[in-house]
Structure 1
Amino acid sequence: MSVYKSSTGLDENIAAILCYLFAFLGAFVFVMLEKRSRFVLFHALQSIFLFVALMIGHVLAGFIPLLGPLLASLLTLAGLALWMTLLVRAGQGKWLKLPWVGELALRQARQM
């Protein structure tokens, strides 16, 4: 349990979990509402960027003959593993920064 509160009144780690648990919807809500916690903003932005990247990957895999379904399946498994890992780490109050999307999320959170 986090001792720090988000500007929404929730503990930071609970707010960060909700950013991943409800993917786009939860993350967009926290990007709009969060005014104080860089931790929550980071996780909200990383959630958005990660799931957008996974969706783009799935669309692109659909254009690849023969190997597309295999790539899409691998993306699904990777996405599920990332989602579960990020949920747990956010609940622990950890800043798990993914390559590329985590860097982008961190830069954006610092500017907000």
Structure 2
Amino acid sequence: MYDTTDIESNKGMAILAYILFFIPLIAAKDSKFAMYHANQGLTLFLCVVIVNVVLGIIPLIGWILLPLVNLALLVLAILGIVAAAQGQVKPLPIIGAYTLLK
């Protein structure tokens, strides 16, 4: 399904997708592997934004949960980076089923 030469030549872009998701969209738009991880990175980024806005608005309980949820989202980013570095196409837990980029 994914070409091994594509995976080997675009591992760096796939890793970068979890830090700055838009870089692979510009630099490696022809790579199916990099685009898969860019989609995962975009989904993770949107989750981070939504969770921080919603929990930041909710007094007390939201403020208590915010660091814990951010830690969980950081763990998801690390899992994605590890999968990309190993050349794996593996969806992130919980949020990995969503496809935002085609």
TM category, shorter? 0.7 to 0.9
1:97 is aligned, of 69, 91, 99, to 91
2:101 match: 108
Cα distance, 1:55–1:103 mapped onto 2, change above 3 Å: same
Q: Find the counterpart in structure 1 of residue 32 from structure 2.
A: 38
Unaligned runs of 5+ in 1: none
1:63 matched residue in structure 2: 57
1:98 Cα deviation (Å)?
2.6
Count of residue pairs brought into register by the alignment: 100
Do 1:12 and 1:93's aligned partners in 2 also have CA atoms closer than 8 Å?
no
TM-score (norm 1): 0.74
Q: Quick one: which of 5, 13, 32 aligns to 1:15? A: 13
Identify the match of residue 82 of structure 2 among 85, 88, 93.
88
Q: Is the 8 A contact 2:17 2:24 kept in 1?
A: yes
For the residues of structure 1 that align with 2:22 and 2:42, how far apart are their CA atoms? Answer: 8
Query: Which SS does the other structure have where 2:30 is aligned?
Result: coil
Indicate if the aligned counterparts of 2:79 and 2:92 stay in contact, CA closer than 8 A.
no
The one-character-per-residue Cα deviations of 1:56-106 (angstroms, maximum 9, x if unpaired) are 10110011121111211111110111111111111001112135643333x
- Aligned-residue CA RMSD (Å): 2.3
Counterpart Cα distance in 2 of 1:87 and 1:68: 28
* AA in 2 matched with 1:108: L
